Structure 1
Amino acid sequence: MKITARKVIVSAIAVAGGVALLAGCAQAPSTSSGGSTTAKKSDFLPCMISDSGGFDDHSFNELGYNGLQDASKALGVKPKTAESKTDADYAPNISSMVSQNCNLIITVGFNLADATKAAAAQNPDTNFAIIDDNSITADNVQPIIFDTAQAAFLGGYAAASFSKSGVVGTFGGMQIPTVTIFMDGFADGVAYFNKQKNKDVKVVGWNVDSQKGSFTGGFDANDTAQNTAQGIIDQGADVIMPVGGPIYQSAATAIKNSGKSIALIGVDADVYNTDPSVRSILLTSVMKGIQPSVENVVKSAAAGKFSNTPYVGTLKNDGVGLAPFHDFESKVDPGLQGEIDKIKAGIIDGSITVNSPASPKS
């Protein structure tokens, strides 16, 4: 029986772009089909500009950087990179890369969309790729985007299952689609758990229907982020998913300072691996396949196969996923992993649909 969506039954969520790549959306570029990706052209120059989180954010900037390094090593080239401290750095950093004759310039994040669009229009012979944005329509720009609502749905289900207080929470850095898509999926996964288990786990920090919630105003790990996390804790949440690069570090500080048994859910990377300092409180992570997608896009461009068709990461193509429970494996319900696997299969085969207003559209 097909399980329908939020507006009809809260058990699952309507979707569009998720179950597979939609018509017009590309699979991850192949590194094995036709031609070598170990480019003979040693003059191929891939470049990358971070957003304000920097390349050491243990999150999507760092993952993008790692993907660039992986591809560059395979190609035998040395990439160029530039870190942005504020949004005022975006356009100058891109201009600097253009002036250095970069063949492919990758910009990391939705916030660089305007600067990327302008630079692409001014430099039609330079190829660009942008992570987490699908707003640019240009022959020389490839979006790298992710249907993270699918993976966050699994994370929300896991959070609800693990919670002892009956309250879980989420908050974001900025209210932009690439943040709220996580929060939508998380809240809907909790709602699905409630429907399946006849429970009433509450979500604080985000309301799916009103699209209103708690945001820090940026992606920095700072007092604002810590205070926002504390506000979630004060509402009784014992599982928290901060969405926005380094802000999880502030949430971890708030959790540890609280002296309470509160679990953290990471985003973008498997934070258990990227930041061992939070392992003791980390339930799981909602992951984007940023590193392999960047690697593949760079290799494809180096092989003369650049395309402006979006790469869309889904559960089906392993472009998004839920990390293992790691140290929490013995703490979660023994049947939880099996339930997660079943839900994942349902999302992939279409019997469970997952959607967010921010879900990628072809």
Structure 2
Amino acid sequence: MTISTRKRVLGGFLAASMFVALAGCASAPETAPTSGGESPSGAAVVDGFKPCMVSDAGGFDDKSFNQLGYEGLVRATEALGLDEPTTVQSDSESDFAPNLTNLVDQNCTLIITVGFALASAAGESAAANPDIEYVSIDDTVDTDFDGKTDSPNIKPIIFDTSQAAFLAGYASASYSTAKKVGTFGGMNFPTVSIFMDGFAQGVEYWNEQKDDNVEVLGWDRDKQDGVFTGAFTANQDAINAAQGLVDQGVDVLLPVGGPIYQSAASVIRDSGREIALIGVDADVYETDPSVADLLLTSIRKLIDVGVEDAVNAAAVGEFDATPFVGTLSNDGVGLAPFHDFESKVSPELQGELDEIKAGIIDGSITVESYLAG
């Protein structure tokens, strides 16, 4: 099945069941090696509750989505009085299934999978282990494409980052003096391209509102394709992708794919030009101070908060498989502050962004997304 078909199927899933509870939450096994005291709400933690996590490629120190998921897990386990959480890192796709089996064998009662790429392996593991609860970050785990999550013991946590990326695109167009902004991604997964497409829509909206002609390089909205490195690592391919866009004259660069922003940062520094970087997932200004001076802003999705809430609920026997969809309306996604660029952007920009955000929330401004159906 093609990526574009996958996007349509995911959109259909959410149109049908975004806020509908999925039936039959599995209970935690009665015996496991970890126990705690009370949850933050004061409720008793289920005996033997043991939350675990498996990363996507990039590792738990990627200063992006894997790290955010891990931080949410750690915060929750500390608050619950549990032992240090069990985690396994995936270095490639071939690690996914063995890593999940590893966690099952360690008597994990809640397994959190980080990333779209883990969906198939997560679905198979959940089906084979109905007494274990699963949380899937960035995917609905609809691997048979029938419009619903594969198993009732999986809770999807997903984010309509096109909305926040729309704001970032508008801000980038406002900032750009070259009238060229660029973006590239790790792989053409919906959870990657959603940033790029939302970004391009925000630039288009700027052009419409300001009668301007800022160009987006690296992403073609009509073809739903663009510049990709083929992986989520800060390697030579990521450097080449960033260099290609910089050579075409962009003065804002949005890399989407975990640590590939580090390659973009190195290209920007070597260029000797004033080129602004845009972070994704976390507020990269805070997670990676080494690139803080380059960051115009970051497109945020609150993976850590979603994970923390899911762990806290499961810990007291209140696991809920209802999909969580982060939007601007529920603050599941958002735009980070301009930080060091505050004095470099237009004084009117923040007010305009606030109006656009309100328009997206009330529906008067449409942002296209596979999550919007």
Task: Give TM-score, length-normalised by structure 2.
Answer: 0.87
Q: Give me the whole-angstrom Cα distance separating, in 2, the residues matched to 1:22 and 1:195.
A: 32
Native 8 Å contact 1:52 1:86 kept in 2:
yes
AA in 2 matched with 1:49: V
> Quick one: which of 63, 66, 91 aligns to 1:61?
66
Q: Give me the whole-angstrom Cα distance separating, in 1, the residues matched to 2:250 and 2:21.
A: 38
Moved over 4 A (4+): 15-18
Residue deviations 1:274-307 (CA, integer Å, cap 9, x gap): 0000011100000001010100011011121112
Residue deviations 1:11-35 (CA, integer Å, cap 9, x gap): xxxx9999xx954379xxxxxxx99
Q: Identify if the C-alpha distance between structure 1 residues 131 and 244 changes in structure 2 by more than 3 Å, giving closer, same or farther.
A: same
AA in 1 matched with 2:68: L
2:132 match: 126
Q: Give me the whole-angstrom Cα distance separating, in 2, the residues matched to 1:304 and 1:122.
A: 21
> Relative to structure 2, which stretch is displaced further, 311-320 or 132-141?
132-141
Q: Identify if the C-alpha distance between structure 1 residues 283 and 69 changes in structure 2 by more than 3 Å, giving closer, same or farther.
A: same
Report the RMSD for the aligned CA atoms in angstroms: 2.0
SS at match of 1:359: helix
AA in 2 matched with 1:147: D
Native 8 Å contact 1:67 1:291 kept in 2:
yes
AA in 2 matched with 1:239: V
Native 8 Å contact 1:145 1:311 kept in 2:
yes
2:328 match: 315
Q: Give me the whole-angstrom Cα distance separating, in 1, the residues matched to 2:191 and 2:232.
A: 12
1:24 match: 20
Alignment of 1:60-139 (within 5 A): 60-78=65-83, 79-136=85-142, 137=149, 138-139=151-152
AA in 2 matched with 1:252: A
Native 8 Å contact 2:21 2:321 kept in 1:
no
1:305 match: 318
Gaps of 5+ in 1: 1-14, 27-33
Native 8 Å contact 1:128 1:140 kept in 2:
yes
AA in 1 matched with 2:199: F
1:7 match: none
Residues 1:277 and 2:282 aligned together: no
AA in 1 matched with 2:337: P
Q: Give me the whole-angstrom Cα distance separating, in 1, the residues matched to 2:82 and 2:255.
A: 36
AA in 1 matched with 2:281: D
Q: Give me the whole-angstrom Cα distance separating, in 2, the residues matched to 1:154 and 1:244.
A: 19
Native 8 Å contact 2:52 2:111 kept in 1:
yes
Deviation at 1:210, TM superposition (A): 1.1
Gaps of 5+ in 2: 1-10, 23-38, 143-148
Deviation at 1:37, TM superposition (A): 5.8
Q: Identify if the C-alpha distance between structure 1 residues 346 and 37 changes in structure 2 by more than 3 Å, giving closer, same or farther.
A: farther
Residues 1:338 and 2:334 aligned together: no
AA in 1 matched with 2:312: K
